[in-house]
Every structure is written in C-alpha cells, then in structure tokens.
C-alpha cells in the first residue's frame, strides 16, 4: 500500500532533482550495490536517498531484498516521469547555453542625419561587429531629428540613439562618442567664394545665411548670431541645398562638406575664426532592462560604455 507524505500523494513540486538522478542510476544499474560505481557514493548513502525520495513522493518505488531489486508499478511510472523531467531539464540547459552562443533579436537605433560620412565610422563599425557576432540580428535604423531620437529612446521605441550632446535629459544615460567640427561654407559662384580664406567678418555678416531649425549647443548658436539669417533648414542636408544655390552661406560639418571641398565647389569662409565643435553621444534609457543585442552593440563602441543603471 502506498504511503502518503505530509503534503499529499503525487506532490512533485518539491522533488529533489538529485534524488531523481540517484533513483535513475539505481534503476539502470539494477540495484543499490551496482549503482555505487555509477554514482560514486556508498550503498548507505544510496539507501538513504531512496528512502528520502519515497518519503517525498509518498510512494513505494522498489522492492529490495533476497529476491533482488525490482520496481513497483508506481516506481516504474516515477522512473519514466523522472526521465522526462531530466530530459526537459537538459533541453532547457542546452537552450539557455545556446543563447550565449547565438545572438538573436532586434536593435532599433535612431541616428541624426549625415553622420555616415564621418571618417572614423565608429557607429558603422559597431554595427558591423554586432552583425558579425549575431548574423540573425535584425537592425532597424531610424534617421530622425535629435529630439525625436531622444523621445524614442525615452519611451522605448528605440533601444539606442546617436545625437548631439545638447540637453542631458534625466531619463537618459549619455556616453561621449566623438566631436564633429563645422565650418561656414559658400559655394562656387557666391560673391565670397574667391576670397574665402581672407574674407572680412563684415562681408560675412552682410551675406544671406541659413539658420539651423534644430537644437544646437549654446556655443554653436552663438556662431550664428552675427550672421544675416534669411533662410532656415531642419537638417544639415537642407543647409547644403541652400548653400549650393550660390546665394547663401551656412555652417556644415567638415566631413559632410569634404567631397564638395575636394572638387572645389565649396570653400570654408574664414576657417580660422568661423567654426564650432559639437560633441556627439550615444544615449540609452536609464534603468533599462538588460538587452543582449544592445549590450553587444555598446561593447563594440570605443571607449567606456554607458552605464546601464
């Protein structure tokens, strides 16, 4: 007759996996003595483990004595259930271990326009490293203004962003990435083009200029104050469009303007005086949940990675 444990028969939620492993070895070895070598423990320890398992299950699992070792009907069922449990446990362990080897998921990154022409290409290289480590990773790039990047990171639509370090929002963690230098340019055909390197500040102040209609640090905005801004643009590409009309001057990132400078279709005006530098930062949400794809991307960036706290 089956015994009942205090918690009632068939209560397997508190089974000790170690006891099931001992039971499995005893069954497959054909008895307690034969299981000693397989388990590396003595017969008394095996007997104690079996008694403990029977007490926990409230079931008589085996017959042992002069007639040898044999399973009861209930013992056979517990053995089969134990095999299924141990198999599932091993499958779970294998799957968890594979997560460390196989990187899968998505990375949604928001980037301010015109950063791809930066010569050091740190973001591009980090994305390449991420893809190499996780070929199945899906990368989603969103080219949007800095304020939209920050909003997307805060509300969770974006995992990470690359923006000018203008306003350090309390809900974001900033990690300095690099500096970008911008100069004041005019296009070939503009009245100031031929005298660009020796142009006077008065001549610059009298020329039509493009004002940026996006957030900039105060020191960059100050560089626009002496200018006669009669047009505006919501991004740097818009400024480039207007500068190329030969009717406006405007600040552009050095790396972005470089191809036109090399063709001598753009020139910097008074480059020793009219320039500013902006720091760019990687932003992540403060207190974010762990995300292996994001961590891999951040680890691939140069320098100290952002704090995820």
Q: Judge whether residue 12 has pLDDT over 60.
A: no
Q: Is the pTM of this model over 0.85?
A: no
Which has the higher per-residue pLDDT, 308 or 50?
A: 50
d(CA 304, CA 309) in angstroms, rounded, equals 14
Q: In 3D, which of 180, 167, 188, 159 has the Cα closest to residue 267?
A: 188
- Joined together, the tokens standing for residue 12 give 């397997």
> For the structural domain made of 104-309, what CATH number should be given?
3.40.190.290
With a cut of 60, say whether residue 208 has pLDDT above it.
yes
Checking if the pLDDT of 32 tops 90, the result is no
Instruction: Indicate the range of 93-97, 113-117, 187-191 predicted with least confidence.
Output: 113-117
pLDDT at 133 over 80: yes
Query: According to the model, what pLDDT value does residue 101 have?
Result: 66
Average pLDDT, the chain: 86
Pair of tokens at residue 224: 């626009």
Q: Average pLDDT of 45-60?
A: 89
17-100 adopts what CATH topology?
Answer: Arc Repressor Mutant, subunit A (1.10.10)
Which residue's entry shows tokens 């740190």?
122
Q: Determine the pLDDT at residue 120.
A: 63
Q: What is the pLDDT of residue 102?
A: 74
CATH 3.40.190.290 domain residues, the chain: 104-309
CATH 1.10.10.10 domain residues, the chain:
17-100
């Amino acid at each position: 007759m089956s015994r009942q444990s205090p918690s009632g028969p068939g209560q397997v939620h508190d089974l000790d996996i170690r006891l099931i492993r001992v039971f499995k070895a005893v069954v497959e070895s054909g008895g307690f003595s034969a299981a000693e070598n397989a388990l590396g423990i003595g017969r008394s320890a095996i007997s104690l483990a079996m008694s403990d398992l029977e007490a926990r299950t409230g079931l008589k699992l085996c017959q042992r004595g002069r007639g040898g070792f044999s399973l009861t009907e209930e013992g056979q069922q517990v053995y089969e259930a134990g095999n299924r449990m141990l198999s599932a446990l091993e499958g779970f362990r294998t799957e968890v271990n594979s997560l460390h080897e196989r990187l899968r998921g998505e990375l949604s990154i928001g980037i301010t326009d015109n950063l791809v022409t930066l010569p050091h290409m740190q973001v591009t290289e980090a994305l390449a490293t991420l893809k190499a480590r996780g070929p199945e990773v899906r990368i989603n790039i969103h080219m949007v203004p800095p304020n939209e990047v920050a909003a997307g990171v805060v509300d969770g639509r974006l995992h990470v962003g690359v923006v000018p370090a203008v306003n350090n929002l309390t809900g974001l963690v900033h990690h300095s990435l690099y500096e970008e230098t911008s100069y004041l340019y005019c296009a070939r055909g503009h009245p100031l083009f031929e005298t660009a390197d020796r142009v006077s500040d008065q001549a610059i102040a009298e020329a039509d200029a493009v004002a940026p209609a996006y957030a900039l640090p105060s020191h960059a905005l100050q560089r626009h104050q002496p200018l006669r801004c009669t047009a505006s643009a919501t991004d740097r590409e818009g400024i480039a469009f207007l500068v190329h009309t030969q009717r406006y001057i405007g600040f552009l990132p050095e790396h972005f303007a470089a191809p036109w400078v090399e063709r001598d279709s753009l020139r910097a005006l008074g480059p020793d005086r009219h320039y500013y530098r902006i720091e760019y930062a990687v932003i992540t949400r403060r207190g974010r949940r762990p995300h292996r794809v994001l961590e891999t991307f951040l680890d691939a960036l140069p320098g100290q990675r952002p704090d995820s706290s």
